[in-house]
A and B are shown apart, each in its own frame.
Chain A
Amino acid sequence: MVETVFAVSAVLILAGAVGVVVFRNPVHAALSLVLTLLGVAVLFVLNDAHFLAAVQVVVYAGAIVILFLFVIMLLGVDTAEKLRVEPIAGQRPLAVVVGAALAALLGTVVIIGADVLTGLRRSAGERALDGSASDIERIGRVLFGEFAFAVEVTAALLTVAVVGAVVLTRRTSRPRSAAAAADASLQDSDAGPDAPSTDAGRGQ
């Protein structure tokens, strides 16, 4: 039973991953990414990480992929990429070679090291997974006990990210340079005949 679930989700994960790489349309790639993310959530459930599985579905498959789709929609970059054209000669075969070498290297490490690594020790006490506490209770206790400082730093990181995103995507009201002027003319053509008057109004 467990083996079947693992095999099916592994096939789905890898199929989704390959789909992300080979689909020419970014929207299809994003939907393929959802398949991989849901497969990973199934693997989390298989490892008794139920809270993380829920977070994976909500944050990754929900928020992050929706963010991707929104940006694709906003920018209108749904034009398919020409995968036949190679801008740098020999890049594709080299990339595949590098990927295969990476997989071989990591695979060797796994084969040699997995048993050593996992047979080394078993945690006990608050961090042990086989205790009486539920999954979410255990994570909460460790997260806000041992890792409280890291949680605070994470809060700072999120704040910086929000401020950074706002600053990066903010439109300047007055064209200052040639690039900004081109930007403004692009806006005008997008917004139609009403745009110049509003732009002039903003400039004063």
Chain B
Amino acid sequence: MGPAGLSVGWYLALAVALFAVGGVGLLVRRNPLVMFMCVELMLNAVNVAFVALGAGLNDVGGQIAVFFVLVVAATEVVIGLALVVAINRRRAGATADDLTTLKG
């Protein structure tokens, strides 16, 4: 049980649903910006699970993990958006399907 009295399972179920929605969005959308947003959704699902499990285990480690996930997510967004800007400078309005240079 978490400190608030709600079972950890509820949080984990929500995290699973959020992760799945983010994964589907990542597969379905073609705009690289929206794909990044879907990655953020999946990272947030993991954060919810970390905090809920940390509360369930009475351990601050879950919150520490979320802290590092936040930092890595921020760097990931910075690099990702820089890549999007660089790609859009070469080809305006490029979607994920247009970038086929590596196709064998």
Contact = CB atoms under 8 A, between A and B. Distances in A.
Interface of A: 2-3, 6, 10, 13-14, 17-18, 20-21, 26, 29-30, 33, 36-37, 40, 43-44, 46-49, 51-52, 55-56, 59-60, 63-64, 67-68, 71-72, 74-75, 77, 79, 81, 87-88, 91-92, 94-96, 98-100, 102-103, 106-107, 110-111, 114-115, 117-118, 120-124, 127-130, 135, 138-139, 142-143, 147, 150, 154, 157-158, 160-162, 164-165, 168-169, 179, 182-183, 186
Contact of B3 (A118, A129, A160): A129
A40 B48 contact: yes
22 contacts: A2-B4, A6-B6, A17-B25, A20-B22, A26-B34, A29-B33, A36-B18, A52-B51, A55-B67, A59-B74, A63-B74, A64-B40, A64-B73, A75-B92, A77-B33, A103-B17, A117-B56, A121-B57, A142-B61, A161-B79, A164-B82, A186-B92
B51 A47 contact: yes
B41 A20 contact: yes
Tell me whether chain A's interface is mostly helix, strand or loop, or mixed: helix
B3 A107 contact: no
Contacts of A43: 11, 14, 48, 51-52
Given A33-B37, A75-B85, A169-B86, A17 B27 contact: no
A60 B70 contact: yes
Contacts of A81: 29-31, 34, 95
Contacts of A17: 18, 21-22, 25, 41
A99 to B, nearest CB: 4
Q: Which 4 A-B pairs have the closest CB atoms?
A: A99-B24, A95-B27, A21-B25, A103-B20
A47 B62 CA distance: 11
Tell me whether chain B's interface is mostly helix, strand or loop, or mixed: helix
A168 B30 CA distance: 22
Contacts of A100: 20
A40 B34 CA distance: 19
A44 B67 CA distance: 12
Contacts of B67: 52, 55, 139, 143
Contacts of B14: 10, 13-14, 43
A168 B57 contact: no
B37 A91 contact: no
B84 A71 contact: yes
A42 B97 CA distance: 37
A101 to B, nearest CB: 9
